């Protein structure tokens, strides 16, 4: 087999692959045997008909198609390896020559990984901020604890206020006609949470416990249901229960109730220390991100659209897996976020663009600096990973190998080392 490489355009190459006539003939013979097992040839048992009879039954075109299924994939894979290209998408295959007794020739046009031109990535002198915690932040954290440990009181006689937890039955109507999905019973809603249609929660404020109320709203123009988008609606509601939080006073007794400390000052000091650790971690992360952003901005690369599409597909798959674990599906998620697949893809695109360029630049830095990982480092990483997930290291390694993800894992370790290298060079 022989391969020639032609640069068609930026980040696109065409491989012309020539397969020996003998190999092509063998593929055709194999195709005939395979077809003989699947088609009925009069006068012959399945799998026993000679090639000539199979060809007469199915036609030469079908025979060649079957042969190409056997030979194109392996030939293309070998051509990729021999040429040293790095495809990032499926190839567009075009037959150049397919004829009995002659070499098989095909062209595979494919998008390849782009070349990265690195700019400055050492000595960037990016300063790290100093971590700090204000008294206001400590107080806000303390108020959060106060909210967490608040008592819930049932309001038997009164009106709904912002922050109340309301249980209600409701049914929605447009033009006096109920619409699908607009009805619920014993629905629990926190007033002011912003989880319902704009105007609904505000419309409940002032409603009396145990009474019915009509709440008028207008669905957003970009609402996921085209039938309701921009439509005026009325929800007939029956307020069944209202609960209100009662906050404990912030004093020493509160500190004793919610922590291991005896005084409020001790609790505040503990919260301050914890917030400082969080602040220090954030400052460190922000510094790292600033370095990586500068290194990426200093580099130049023309990225094929296919790489963005693939990254968005990966992000969708991760989102879908996460939703399944939470007992949801994508359709429910679209409804909850007032979106669609098209809208979500557009929202994810900036993140995908940033992510792909970041990975390409870090990969280029690793290559320029000769950053690799040893087998010992891989095993140490797997050991740490297995401890985190409480899994046997050998089983984890075997799982990665079986799923073909070991190279991805090694690349993640190389990227981690590269990031650490850049932080050291730009401290």
Are residue 88 and residue 220 in the same domain, yes or no? no
Here the CATH number for the domain that contains residue 377 is 1.10.3120.10
| pLDDT value at residue 56 | 62
| pLDDT value at residue 427 | 75
Are residue 285 and residue 400 in the same domain, yes or no? yes
For every residue of 57-89, DSSP letters joined together read HH-HHHHHHHHHHHHHHHHHHHHHHHHT--B-S
Report yes or no on 80 lying in a domain.
Answer: yes
Radius of gyration of the chain (CA): 32
Structure tokens at 61: 């075109």
236's enclosing H/E stretch is: strand 232-246
> Could you tell me if 166 and 241 are in contact, meaning their C-beta atoms sit under 8 angstroms apart?
yes
Report yes or no on 59 lying in a domain.
Answer: yes
| pLDDT value at residue 46 | 67
> Could you tell me if 92 and 70 are in contact, meaning their C-beta atoms sit under 8 angstroms apart?
no
| pLDDT value at residue 360 | 96
Structure tokens at 224: 């996921």
**pTM score:** 0.70
Distance CA 130, CA 279 (A): 9
Report yes or no on 290 lying in a domain.
Answer: yes
Report yes or no on 369 lying in a domain.
Answer: yes
| Residue whose entry in the numeric block shows the structure tokens 């320029």 | 368
Number of Cβ within a 10 Å radius of residue 206: 10
Here the CATH number for the domain that contains residue 62 is 3.30.70.1050
Range of the domain at 236: 151-246
What are the per-10-residue average pLDDT scores of the chain (427 residues)?
90 94 87 75 67 69 85 93 92 91 93 94 91 95 92 88 93 91 90 89 92 92 83 94 92 93 95 96 94 95 92 91 86 81 91 95 96 91 84 84 87 94 89
Identify any residues that bridge with 208 across adjacent strands, giving them in sequence order.
159
């Amino acid at each position: 087999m022989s391969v020639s490489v032609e640069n068609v355009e930026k980040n696109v190459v065409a491989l012309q692959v020539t397969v020996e006539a003998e190999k092509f003939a063998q593929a055709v013979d194999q195709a005939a045997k395979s077809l003989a097992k699947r088609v009925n040839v009069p006068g012959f048992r399945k799998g026993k008909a000679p090639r000539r009879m199979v060809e007469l039954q199915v036609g030469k075109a079908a025979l060649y198609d079957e042969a190409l299924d056997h030979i194109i994939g392996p030939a293309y894979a070998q051509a990729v390896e021999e040429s040293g290209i790095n495809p990032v998408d499926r190839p567009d295959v075009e037959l150049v020559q397919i004829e009995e007794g002659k070499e098989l020739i095909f062209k595979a046009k494919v998008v390849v990984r782009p070349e990265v031109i690195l700019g400055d990535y050492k000595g960037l002198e990016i300063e790290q901020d100093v971590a700090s915690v204000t008294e206001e932040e400590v107080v806000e954290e303390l108020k959060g604890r106060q909210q967490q440990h608040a008592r819930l009181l049932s309001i038997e006689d009164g009106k709904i206020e912002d922050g109340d937890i309301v249980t209600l039955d409701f049914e929605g109507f447009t033009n006096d006609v109920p619409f699908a999905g607009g009805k619920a019973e014993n629905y629990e809603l926190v007033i002011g949470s912003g989880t319902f249609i704009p105007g609904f929660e505000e419309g409940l404020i002032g409603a009396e416990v145990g009474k019915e109320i009509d709440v008028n709203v207008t669905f957003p123009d970009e609402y996921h249901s085209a039938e309701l988008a921009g439509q005026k609606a009325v929800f007939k509601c029956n307020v069944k229960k209202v609960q209100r939080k009662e906050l404990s006073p912030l004093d020493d007794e509160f500190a004793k109730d919610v922590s291991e400390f005896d005084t409020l000052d001790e609790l505040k000091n503990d919260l301050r220390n914890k917030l400082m650790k969080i602040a220090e971690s954030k400052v460190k992360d922000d510094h790292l991100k600033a370095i990586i952003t500068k290194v990426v901005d200093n580099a130049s690369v023309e990225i094929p659209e296919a790489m963005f599409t693939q990254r968005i597909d990966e992000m969708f798959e991760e989102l879908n897996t996460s939703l399944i674990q939470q007992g949801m599906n994508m359709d429910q998620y679209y409804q909850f976020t007032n979106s669609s697949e098209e809208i979500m893809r557009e929202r994810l695109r900036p993140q995908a663009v940033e992510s792909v360029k970041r990975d390409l630049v870090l990969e280029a830095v690793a290559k320029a600096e000769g950053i690799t990982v040893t087998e010992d480092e891989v095993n140490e990483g797997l050991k740490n990973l297995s401890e985190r997930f409480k899994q046997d290291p050998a089983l984890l390694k075997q799982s990665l190998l079986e799923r073909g993800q070991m190279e991805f894992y090694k690349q993640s370790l190389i990227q981690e080392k590269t990031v650490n290298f850049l932080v050291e060079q730009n401290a």
